[in-house]
């Protein structure tokens, strides 16, 4: 449980850092909703859907699915998969 919490925290930190460096237009940032779906739990991983503001993506922004494993696959940690 603690391991999964650490991975979720790292993934959300990565997402926040990534979204900080994106400079959306004022129209994209004002109309985007901060909706997040999940986490959905599967056998070996979990995933979350969320949207990142982006001028090129219009009002809704870019849909992102972030997948993270329950157990580490490597001694350095477990990577996160991000679908855009």
pTM of the model: 0.51
Instruction: Report the alpha-carbon distance of residue 33 to residue 40 in Å, rounded.
Output: 20
Domain that includes residue 21, residue range? 2-83
pLDDT tens sequence for the chain (84 residues): 566 666 666 666 666 555 555 544 444 444 456 778 888 999 988 999 999 888 888 888 888 998 888 887 777 766 777 766
Q: How many domains does the chain have?
A: 1
**Rounded Cα gap, residues 70 and 64, in angstroms:** 19
């Amino acid at each position: 449980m603690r391991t999964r919490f650490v991975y979720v925290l790292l993934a959300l930190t990565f997402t926040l850092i990534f979204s900080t460096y994106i400079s959306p237009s004022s129209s994209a940032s004002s109309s985007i909703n901060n909706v997040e779906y999940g986490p959905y739990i599967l056998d070996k991983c979990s995933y979350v859907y969320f949207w990142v503001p982006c001028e090129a993506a219009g009002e809704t922004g870019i849909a992102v699915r972030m997948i993270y494993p329950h157990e580490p696959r490597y001694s350095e940690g477990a990577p996160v998969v991000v679908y855009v």
